[in-house]
Amino acid sequence: MKRIKRKINTTLWGMVTHVLGRRKKDIPIYLFCHHKTGTNLLSRVFRDICLRERWSFVVEPYQVESPPDGDIVLFQNSTINPRLIKTPFFGIHMIRDPREVIVSGYFYHKKTHEPWCISKDFNQEGPPTGWPVPMFMQHKSKVWADNYISSLGGLSYREHLNQMSQEDGMTFEMKNLSSWTIRNMLDWQYDNPSILEIKMEDVRVDYDKAFSRMFDHLEFEPRRKRISMRCARYHDVGRMSPSQLKRTVHVRTKEVATWNDHFSDDHKMLFKELFGADCCSLLRYED
């Protein structure tokens, strides 16, 4: 009943926005995420906020040199260098323990229907502007794209994972999509005062405190913050029942740290070989 009521309310708010028009925000909000680091959560929470505030919400999956017009813009894979943004903004950047990115990516990519992950369209012409190259890698050269497509050997990404043992599948994930995500997190500029840096683990451990910090950074006045907190709480995995969690495609477990249950000794060695012995400490995670 709650979900039906919420869907009705969301539709009504959409109608109100359509009729009354956009209430443009003076300073935009930019949300910077990476694959499997809370993108879906931030998208759901801030979409709800936009409906209530009559703000526009824009998702940018591709690499860009300047932000699109929007009151709140979600850069799904942090596909912009913040140093290129010349106008004032409020930002939130969310990362995750890189080992958890690998584990989460492995289990998610085994079942997802995202087009890039299930595509076997290997006859593209020109730059990598389509599947099976993920959107956040489509700025790469055609040589890079051809090498990646060749490495798939005629199988989709998901088919690779599902025909492998978990040991080999975790290795495949570590060397491919999760590798690109982790390198993007390592390359990020963490010294921008306009951007609040937050870990997905902070959200899992104390959900309300984490979102309160975000809304304070965004300078939401008390009334707007109260409304926004209600929006956020609705999407809290920790508040979900087992049946609700089961229906949530992007969340596998309520546990915060699971990588040690899935990494073999070989995985741990490969992780250090690929990303450096100081990868976790650079991202302020314990080894």
What are the tens digits of pLDDT across the range 23-32? 889 999 999 9
User: Is 273 buried (19+), middle (13-18) or exposed (0-12) by CB count in 10 A?
Assistant: exposed
Whether 213 and 74 share a structural domain: yes
- For residue 42, is it within any domain? yes
Higher pLDDT, 33 or 237: 33
DSSP H stretches of helix in the chain:
2-20, 39-53, 98-109, 115-118, 142-151, 157-163, 166-175, 177-187, 200-205, 207-217, 222-234, 242-246, 259-262, 265-275, 279-282
Say how far apart CA 93 and CA 74 lie, in whole Å: 10
Q: Quick one: pLDDT at residue 267?
A: 98
The domain total for the chain is 2
Please give the model's pTM, rounded to 2 decimal places: 0.88
Two structure tokens written together for 103 = 């584990």
What is the per-residue pLDDT across 169-207, written as a single tens digit (0 to 9) for each?
999 999 999 999 999 999 999 999 999 999 999 999 999
- For residue 76, is it within any domain? yes
Question: Would you give the DSSP letter of residue 93?
Answer: E
Whether 53 and 6 share a structural domain: yes
Whether 30 and 159 share a structural domain: no
Q: Quick one: pLDDT at residue 130?
A: 78
Whether 219 and 277 share a structural domain: no
Structural domain that includes position 143: 99-184+257-282
- For residue 212, is it within any domain? yes
Q: How far is CA 49 from CA 33, 58, 230, 250, in A?
A: 18, 13, 9, 20
Whether 160 and 263 share a structural domain: yes
Whether 44 and 16 share a structural domain: yes
Say how far apart CA 20 and CA 4 lie, in whole Å: 24
Whether 6 and 80 share a structural domain: yes
Whether 23 and 40 share a structural domain: yes
- For residue 70, is it within any domain? yes
Whether 83 and 23 share a structural domain: yes
Query: Scanning the structure block, which residue is given the tokens 């010349």?
Result: 86
DSSP class per residue in 195-239: EEEEEHHHHHH-HHHHHHHHHHHTT--HHHHHHHHHHHHHT-GGG
- For residue 68, is it within any domain? yes
Whether 91 and 232 share a structural domain: yes
- For residue 149, is it within any domain? yes
Higher pLDDT, 273 or 247: 273
Whether 180 and 225 share a structural domain: no
User: Is 240 buried (19+), middle (13-18) or exposed (0-12) by CB count in 10 A?
Assistant: middle
Range scoring the smallest mean pLDDT among 53-57, 124-128, 143-147, 180-184: 124-128
Phi, psi of 225 (to 5 degrees): -65, -40
Whether 29 and 89 share a structural domain: yes
- For residue 248, is it within any domain? no
Instruction: Walk across the sheet containing 90-95 and list its strands.
Output: 57-60, 72-75, 29-32, 90-95, 195-199
Q: Quick one: pLDDT at residue 50?
A: 96
- For residue 133, is it within any domain? yes
Say how far apart CA 176 and CA 116 lie, in whole Å: 13
